[in-house]
Amino acid sequence: MDITFFDKGIETLPREKLRLVQEEKLAAMLDTVYGTNRFVTGKLDASGAAPRDVRTLEDLAGLPFTTKAELMAAQAQGPLSTNCTFPEAAYTRVHQTSGTTGPPLRVFDTVESWDWWGRCWGFVLAGAGLTASDRFFVPFSFGPFIGFWAALGGAKRIEALMVPGGGRTSAQRLQLMADMAVTAMACTPTYALRLIEVAREEGFDLSTIPMRITVHAGEPGASVPATKSRIEEEWGARCYDHAGASEVGAHSFECQAQPGGTHVIDSEFIIEVVDPVSGRPVRPGDEGELVITNLGRVGFPVIRYRTGDVVCVNDSPCPCGRTFTRFDGGVIGRVDDMVVIRGVNIYPGAVENLVRRHDAVDEFRVTISRQRELSAILIEIECREGADTQATVRAVQKTFESSLGLRPEVNAVERDSLPRFELKAQRFFVA
């Protein structure tokens, strides 16, 4: 396979040169924001840091972290967040977080920083193999949630034909994809699975859509092996993971070598991996919380932002030839989502991976109840029409026993009784 790049020169730059690129951009960003951005200036002054002396990655590690709570507080200061570096006239876009876990955070972009978002998506889409010959469908309701808005900028950069998919039902979207002979799409992994289910219900033949590439964000699913292989089999396409967040930007992507994880766009972000409790760097190769400094969003920057995402850096070279940092397994989960059941550390992605191995399961919900020291796990599964539900219940139980040494309670529920999602799914609950 020919590996496609967005900017091959930068994507294959030796690490020491990449580091110089990062340090140069960091210094330029700090020079602009310090003194003009009230939020950043206040934070740095309070910490006693001397930002004009910050020139290296080691210097950066001496600056304080930024948290979502701080950005929310900066937002509460007025119509514009105090994290805006420039006067209001400079801003051309406002978006917000999905609000699945609390009130939405608004983020502001200038012409330059919105263009930068598009550049980052260029790395994502070219990394998955999209070219100017692709017809790229985005089944997303283009509202205030930032979601896949920036994917449009990426498609423009690589000159693919963008087919917007908002304002219609799933069945209508499938028909539009077939009519337009769509070859690529971007959505959450949950929604790619939902479209498969709708196609089956409607008697729609997915093979009438010449799909070859699917790109997924918003959830770890595309790096969850069982979810990935189900999407790939049903769509007859290669499925790629991508991670980003409103607060920081579109920061990582999966390449065509598909080594079982993602690359960080090191030319646009500086990442650190820290112990979520102590805040100190973890040993190379250990799991920890992802901390990000973005380098292209000077109008609304984040410096050492605590993402709450758990990642694990793999330093070995990637067969694709990129020198960009790799995350094993993409974003593994959220720091807050890890539960310990009888001494076993479990993330929702690991549970999803075990449930999704069973083709008969269309949707599921996991409830973990904590009773004193013991935790119990309940998995409700919704099986597809005609499936042997009791056999599936036993099979799911068995998978958990052999993989995790746990025996969950598994209940089959009526069809269409569990919620369906177009964006981020909520399938995990701790009671």
Residues that bind Zn ion (CB under 5 A): 255, 257, 318, 320, 322
- 407 membership: H or E segment, kind and range: none
Q: Where do runs of H (alpha helix) occur along 48-87?
A: 57-60, 68-75
> C-beta of 123: minimal distance to Zn ion in Å?
11
Nearer to Zn ion, 12 or 98 (CB): 12
**What distance in Å separates the CA atoms of residue 148 and residue 389, rounded to the nearest whole number?**
36
Locate tokens 């529920």: which residue?
413
Nearer to Zn ion, 12 or 397 (CB): 12
Angstrom distances, CA of residue 65 to CA of 68, 255, 336 = 10, 30, 18
> C-beta of 235: minimal distance to Zn ion in Å?
22
**What token pair was written down for 37?**
């951005």
List of residues 6+ apart from 142 with CB closer than 8 A: 149, 164, 166
Residue 48 neighbours by CB distance under 10 Å: 8
> C-beta of 266: minimal distance to Zn ion in Å?
12
Nearer to Zn ion, 4 or 367 (CB): 4
Nearer to Zn ion, 257 or 395 (CB): 257
> C-beta of 304: minimal distance to Zn ion in Å?
26
Nearer to Zn ion, 127 or 221 (CB): 127
> C-beta of 305: minimal distance to Zn ion in Å?
25
> C-beta of 263: minimal distance to Zn ion in Å?
6
> Is the distance from CB of 408 to CB of 400 less than 8 angstroms?
yes
> Is the distance from CB of 189 to CB of 181 less than 8 angstroms?
no
Nearer to Zn ion, 199 or 213 (CB): 213
> C-beta of 244: minimal distance to Zn ion in Å?
18
Q: What is the residue type of 81?
A: S
Nearer to Zn ion, 185 or 255 (CB): 255
Nearer to Zn ion, 322 or 424 (CB): 322
> C-beta of 311: minimal distance to Zn ion in Å?
16
**What distance in Å separates the CA atoms of residue 116 and residue 109, rounded to the nearest whole number?**
10
**What distance in Å separates the CA atoms of residue 408 and residue 377, rounded to the nearest whole number?**
5
Comparing C-alpha atoms, which of 264, 267, 266 is closest to residue 254? Answer: 264
Q: Is the dihedral of CA 178, 183, 187, 190 positive or negative?
A: positive
> What are the φ and ψ backbone dihedral angles of 51, each rounded to 5 degrees?
-60, -30
**What distance in Å separates the CA atoms of residue 431 and residue 428, rounded to the nearest whole number?**
10
**What distance in Å separates the CA atoms of residue 366 and residue 8, rounded to the nearest whole number?**
43
**What distance in Å separates the CA atoms of residue 258 and residue 412, rounded to the nearest whole number?**
34
> C-beta of 20: minimal distance to Zn ion in Å?
22
Q: Where do runs of H (alpha helix) occur along 272-366?
A: 348-355
> C-beta of 213: minimal distance to Zn ion in Å?
15
Nearer to Zn ion, 230 or 322 (CB): 322
Nearer to Zn ion, 84 or 120 (CB): 120
Nearer to Zn ion, 320 or 368 (CB): 320
> C-beta of 265: minimal distance to Zn ion in Å?
12
**What token pair was written down for 362?**
């269309």
Locate tokens 């140069």: which residue?
24
Residue 408 buriedness (CB in 10 A; 0-12 / 13-18 / 19+): buried
